[in-house]
Structure 1
Amino acid sequence: MSGVVVVGQVGRDLVLTVEELPGAGGSADVLARQELLGGKGANQAVACRQLGAEVGLVGVVGTDSAGTEVLAQAAGDGIDVGAVVRRPGAPTALLVDLVGPRGVRRLLEDVDARMLLGAEDVRAGRGLLRSADAVLVQLQQPGPAVAEALAAASAGGALTVADGAPADGAVRRQVLSAADVVRADTAEAEALVGWAPQDVPGTVRAAESLLEQGPRVAALGTGEGDVVAWPGGHVVLPHLGEDPVDPTGAGDAFVAALTVALLRGESPESAAWWAAAAAAEVVGTAGGRPDLDLDRLRESAARARR
């Protein structure tokens, strides 16, 4: 299977499940507690690995015990962490996911600015990026790091997948000219196209406008599901799965499955259903860590298309 490199956040997830989310001044007993490898980059890397890709990760952790632990977990998942930078003097990112009933959650993020990627961090992993078959870049990282990752991916001829929307206009233009695939949620879609899609037809128009700027696949979230468009066609995907437990990590699983499916030669429409099925699996459990299986995902995607 082809090699994927994910450029993005690495941290520690603390997932706490409670019977009811407390109000101001209140408290709640914790029903279940999980401490896991987390962060968007790590979640996407784990998902790609579970779906059969060889995976490398470019990110930042501290030199603290939490950094040691999450790197060990990533290596245990079969991920190459050789390009993950260990930054002294700063704590490894911590994400606290407080999960209540009926799919309601609160997310607390303790991410020191030093845990973000710099251009020099990405340059240090340039060899890994240039040898990849696909590079997945999280646009929540600083602009210089994003630009460096896009340039390295393009130089190596990788399938380049951009997830999110950069705040900087110059970086946004570079993303749209360099990326083969762009993925954005509802708020990020507005930042990418410059206007807010109000409904599904508006989101289809937004995706088609992005295709005119360079990408060959555009995947945009809507309140009702997702739109995936490609030259000459599009598909509207409903939110799959029943009684979601926690939306955390759904977007990460979506973009990872979309990437792996395209690498495997699936059509954009087929890859879109893989992505929707992966997201549905993740929202069925608390926390953003995926638990995907390639054969099961294929079956779920085929069933959903009928």
Structure 2
Amino acid sequence: MSAARATTGVVEGVVAVVGQVGRDLVLRVDAVPGAGGSAAVRERREVLGGKGANQAVAAAQLGTSAALVGVVGDDAAGEEVLAQARRDGVDVRCVVRREGARTALLVDVVAGGERRLLEDVPEEVLLTAADVRAATGLLRRSAAVLVQLQQPAGAVSEALQIARGAGRFVVVDGAPEDAAVREEVLGAATVLRADAHEAELFCGRALRGADAVLAAARELVGRGPRLVVLEAGAAGNAVAWEGGGELVPLTAVEVVDPTGGGDSFTAALTVALLRGEEVERAVRWATAAAGSTVRRAGGRPALSPDELDEQADLLT
């Protein structure tokens, strides 16, 4: 394992994130009321959100140049979230302002360590292939391209084709519903990260237990990606690469809200790998980033490289 810290050095080039941009409304309550009931809100936050934006913000917090490819409306909310992204140090020149559309709103209701998500994501603010093509210059010159696979298939395919054609470091997060696009993902991805359900989509079967998930990660490495990380429940993450694999435990933190943990993981993993960290260290750094994010309500990260170093050292 490399002795170098993931905070050593600076990543040359941009980390471009292709994915969702929206407004997050986070409401923390003691308990979610039943029909006809009510509950006092203990904490309320209105922030830049969406999986793509969360990943870009996390990358910027970890010292990289980050840029977004996404869509917002031409409403006041769209202007607000773009202004927040700029303050976060994220380049939003490739975020489309869709005329006549309203910006996505994600309402995260948190109680007792669990979340309920209400989504208002109009079709007009989903990425199209044309939106992605308009960002070709950014994707071709980026050090890494992160693609959120919950976006429409046409946009995902376009992003993969551009990034792969330019020889970029491609990190994908999720699993498309379309089986043909899943195969395209495996052929284009340098790094694949997926949760439990998404892993089953890629493998075409149920995965029962951590050993089965680790075996699936090894199988998927054989189908294209150089590194595969699959969620393995309470056991942590199953990680596989050519010639190696292991289960990496989660950090010992109280989970306030699981929202955004995977986004922080993906961004931190990308940053660590670009800085030349060995896989084992990079995955532990990413695990620490996820642990940091789930300790607070809402998916917006607040990452400190020094804190991630300390937490990663505790994961054995």
* TM-score tier after normalising by the smaller chain length: over 0.9
For 1:17, which of 25, 28, 32 is the aligned residue? 28
Partner of 1:190 in structure 2?
200
TM-score (norm 2): 0.94
| Contact kept in structure 2, 1:130 and 1:153, CA below 8 Å | yes
RMSD: 0.9
Spell out the pairing of 1:1-306 with structure 2 (5 A cutoff).
Answer: 1-2=11-12, 3-101=14-112, 103-224=113-234, 225-305=236-316
d(CA) in 2 for partners of 1:196, 1:275: 26
| Contact kept in structure 2, 1:180 and 1:215, CA below 8 Å | yes
Partner of 2:7 in structure 1?
none
Which has the bigger relative contact order, CA under 8 A and spacing at least 6? 2
Partner of 2:3 in structure 1?
none
Partner amino acid, structure 2, of 1:108 = L
d(CA) in 1 for partners of 2:70, 2:252: 31
| Contact kept in structure 1, 2:249 and 2:315, CA below 8 Å | no
d(CA) in 2 for partners of 1:228, 1:115: 33
Structure 1 residues 141-177: Cα deviation after superposition (integer angstroms, max 9, x where no partner): 0111111101111122211001000111221111101
d(CA) in 2 for partners of 1:85, 1:10: 10
d(CA) in 2 for partners of 1:82, 1:270: 33
Partner amino acid, structure 2, of 1:266 = E
Deviation at 1:120, TM superposition (A): 0.1
d(CA) in 1 for partners of 2:120, 2:133: 26
Structure 1 residues 169-212: Cα deviation after superposition (integer angstroms, max 9, x where no partner): 22111110110000000000011111121111100111011101
Partner amino acid, structure 1, of 2:98 = R
| Contact kept in structure 2, 1:132 and 1:156, CA below 8 Å | no
Partner amino acid, structure 2, of 1:178 = A
Partner secondary structure for residue 12 of structure 1: strand
Structure 1 residues 110-152: Cα deviation after superposition (integer angstroms, max 9, x where no partner): 1011111000000000000000010000110011111110111
| Contact kept in structure 1, 2:157 and 2:181, CA below 8 Å | yes
| Contact kept in structure 2, 1:241 and 1:284, CA below 8 Å | no
d(CA) in 2 for partners of 1:183, 1:129: 20
| Contact kept in structure 2, 1:241 and 1:281, CA below 8 Å | no
TM-score (norm 1): 0.97
TM superposition outliers: structure 1 runs of 4+ over 6 Å: none
Partner secondary structure for residue 93 of structure 2: coil
d(CA) in 2 for partners of 1:215, 1:298: 26
Partner amino acid, structure 2, of 1:10 = V
Deviation at 1:90, TM superposition (A): 1.5
Structure 1 residues 26-85: Cα deviation after superposition (integer angstroms, max 9, x where no partner): 110111110000000000000011011101100000000000000000011000000000
| Contact kept in structure 2, 1:61 and 1:87, CA below 8 Å | yes
Q: Which moved more, 1:23-32 or 1:181-190?
A: 23-32
d(CA) in 2 for partners of 1:234, 1:26: 49
| Contact kept in structure 1, 2:251 and 2:311, CA below 8 Å | no
Structure 1 regions of 5+ residues with no counterpart?
Answer: none
d(CA) in 1 for partners of 2:241, 2:36: 49
